[in-house]
């Protein structure tokens, strides 16, 4: 079982368009789906789920869609907070949270703080997140530390860089799932996914539930993760002549 699963929840707009519904209705249905997937992850013993909810590039969408998404997020949090508490879910956020609208940021940060003691399961929401922006911000922090004399440039290795990313302290994702049949990462956890297995689900996100998650996990279990080694090494067999 993967310790950490990341999901790029894509296809809400096409799901709605296929039914002659407004895009926001697709987002609403998609958002409801998330709670089914969270429950399934907890039941299956996955420790961390990171979901891509809003990318740093999604600000380019029509303004009504952007504001509708934030209103939806705020409403969802209110509607599902007690359920998350009951299931001992620790909530974390990655991305540039400071630039979110006040009405969405306040309750979100409160929920993050209130759930800090939970350890059964971690839900990480990537909001206004972009992996390149995250990397640039980490580089900036390191540069400031070097200038201030707290760090020497030659001390910077992956472990040091990693500890300045938004995801510091979290395990790398083992499996990245993208729905809606698209084969790309769209600026999601680029550095952390260096050795993640990738599963593309053909369903649009509002059609993704427990059976589709189980299919993704079956696919994951069929992979041989080699991390640069040979297949024989991974299988513990004697080296090939
Ligand atoms: C994913 O669904 C949700 C967000 C990006 C917020 P989309 O809105 O991207 O749906 P499609 O890709 O247009 O179908
Ligand atoms: C990625 O989906 C972002 C989220 C799922 C939040 P997009 O729909 O924004 O990605 P592109 O633009 O098709 O690559
Ligand atoms: Mg999309």
> What is the domain-level CATH number for residue 55?
3.40.1180.10
Residue 150, domain member (yes or no): no
Q: Is residue 167 part of a domain?
A: no
Given a cut of 50, the residues of the chain with pLDDT beneath it are none
Does the beta carbon of 137 lie inside 6 Å of ligand 2? no
What is the model's pLDDT at position 238?
A: 84
Is residue 151 situated within a structural domain?
A: no
Is 204 near ligand 2, meaning CB less than 6 Å away? no
- The proportion of the chain whose per-residue pLDDT surpasses 90, expressed as a percent, equals 98
Q: According to the model, what pLDDT value does residue 93 have?
A: 98
pLDDT of 237 reads: 87
Alpha carbon 220 to its chain's center: 17
Find all residues with CB under 8 Å of 73, minimum gap 6, and list them.
Answer: 31, 53, 54, 104, 108, 127
Dist. CA 174–CA 196, nearest whole Å: 5
- The reply to whether the predicted model has a pTM over 0.95 is yes
From residue 74, how far is each of 97, 110, 123, 189, 190 by CA, in Å?
Answer: 13, 12, 16, 24, 27
Distance of CA 7 to the CA centre of its chain: 6
Q: Has 58 been annotated as catalytic?
A: yes
* 35 inside domain: yes
Domain limits for position 191: 4-130+173-222
Number of domains in the chain: 1
Residue 19: name the closest of 206, 179, 191, 224 by CA: 206
Environment class of residue 98 by beta-carbon count within 10 Å: exposed (0-12), middle (13-18) or buried (19+)?
A: exposed
- Cα(152) to centroid of ligand 2, in Å? 38
Annotated catalytic residue within 58, 96, 207, 219: 58
Selection from 69, 57, 7 nearest residue 196 by Cα: 7
Ligand 2 proximity of 184 Cβ (cutoff 6 Å): yes
pLDDT of the residue at 36: 96
Can you read off the two tokens belonging to residue 32?
């409801």
Q: Specify the pLDDT at position 156.
A: 98
Asked if the structure places residue 228 within a domain, the reply is no
Q: Residue 131 region, left (φ>0) first, then alpha (ψ -120 to 50), else beta? A: alpha
In a domain, 153, yes or no: no
């Amino acid at each position: 079982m993967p310790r950490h699963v990341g999901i790029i929840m894509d296809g809400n707009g096409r799901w709605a368009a296929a039914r002659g519904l407004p895009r926001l209705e697709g987002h609403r249905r998609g958002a409801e789906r998330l709670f089914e997937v969270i429950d399934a992850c907890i039941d299956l013993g996955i420790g961390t789920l990171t979901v891509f909810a809003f990318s740093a590039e999604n600000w380019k969408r029509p303004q009504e869609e952007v504001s509708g998404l934030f209103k939806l997020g705020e409403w969802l949090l209110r509607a599902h907070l007690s359920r998350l508490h009951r299931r001992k879910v620790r909530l974390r956020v990655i991305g540039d949270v400071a630039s979110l609208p006040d009405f969405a940021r306040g309750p979100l940060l409160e929920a993050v703080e209130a759930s800090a003691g939970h350890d059964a399961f971690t839900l990480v929401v990537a909001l206004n997140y972009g992996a390149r922006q995250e990397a640039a911000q980490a580089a900036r922090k390191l540069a400031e530390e070097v200038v201030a004399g707290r760090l020497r440039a030659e001390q910077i290795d992956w472990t040091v860089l990693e500890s300045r990313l938004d995801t510091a302290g979290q395990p790398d994702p083992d499996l990245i799932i993208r729905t809606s049949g698209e084969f790309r990462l769209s600026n999601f956890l680029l550095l952390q996914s260096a050795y993640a297995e990738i599963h593309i689900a053909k369903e649009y996100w509002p059609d993704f539930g427990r059976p589709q998650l189980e299919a993704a996990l079956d696919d994951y279990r069929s992979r041989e993760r080699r991390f640069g080694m040979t297949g024989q090494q991974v299988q513990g067999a004697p080296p090939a002549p």
